[in-house]
């Protein structure tokens, strides 16, 4: 499928979404999403699709955290969700998702995403 980006002669294929998989075969972001309420899961899924189709994007939907690591910013009715991801070739790889409990990016969540990114890069 090719998507027209309202630019002359500018067509791109959407990114393919992948869930990071642990060595034991778990997909932490998929499991996290399944535990959320349906309305929250739908809102997060819609923002992931926006990134999938419109990459590259910036604020307010996507914020670059550091080299090869971005966050999808999702404002839910009563809270805020974040999904950390990387882009590898034509793949959008979802590394970690969480509900924000404070202002700023929690260091534990950021370090977990970094570790998953390292694992992904090291095969």
The model's pLDDT over 26-48, given as tens digits with 9 standing for 90+, comes to 999 999 999 999 999 999 999 99
Give 37-85 pLDDT, tens digit per residue.
Answer: 999 999 999 999 999 999 999 999 999 999 999 999 999 999 999 999 9
Torsion angle (degrees, nearest 10) of CA 38, 102, 56, 25? -60
Residue 13's pLDDT is 87
How much is the average pLDDT of 17-22?
Answer: 98
User: Phi then psi for 51, rounded to 5 degrees?
Assistant: -70, -45
Question: For residues 30 and 19, is the Cβ–Cβ distance under 8 A?
Answer: yes
Joined tokens for residue 3: 């998507």
How many CB atoms sit inside 10 A of residue 85's CB? 29
Query: With 0-12 CB in 10 A as exposed, 13-18 as middle and 19+ as buried, what is 5?
Result: exposed
Q: Using a cut of 0.85, tell me whether the model's pTM lies above it.
A: yes
Show the domains of the chain with their CATH numbers. 3-121 (3.30.2310.20)
Confidence of residue 2 (pLDDT cuts 50, 70, 90): very low
């Amino acid at each position: 499928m090719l998507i027209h980006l309202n630019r002359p002669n500018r067509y791109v294929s959407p990114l393919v979404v992948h869930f990071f998989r642990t060595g034991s075969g778990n997909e932490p972001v998929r499991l996290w999403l399944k535990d959320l309420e349906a309305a929250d899961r739908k809102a997060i899924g819609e923002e992931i699709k926006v990134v999938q189709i419109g990459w590259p994007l910036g604020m307010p939907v996507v914020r670059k955290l550091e080299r090869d690591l971005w966050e999808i910013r999702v404002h839910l009715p009563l809270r805020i969700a974040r999904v950390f991801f990387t882009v590898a070739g034509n793949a959008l790889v979802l590394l970690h998702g969480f509900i924000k409990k404070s202002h700023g990016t929690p260091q534990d969540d950021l370090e977990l995403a970094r570790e998953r990114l390292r694992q992904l890069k090291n095969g």
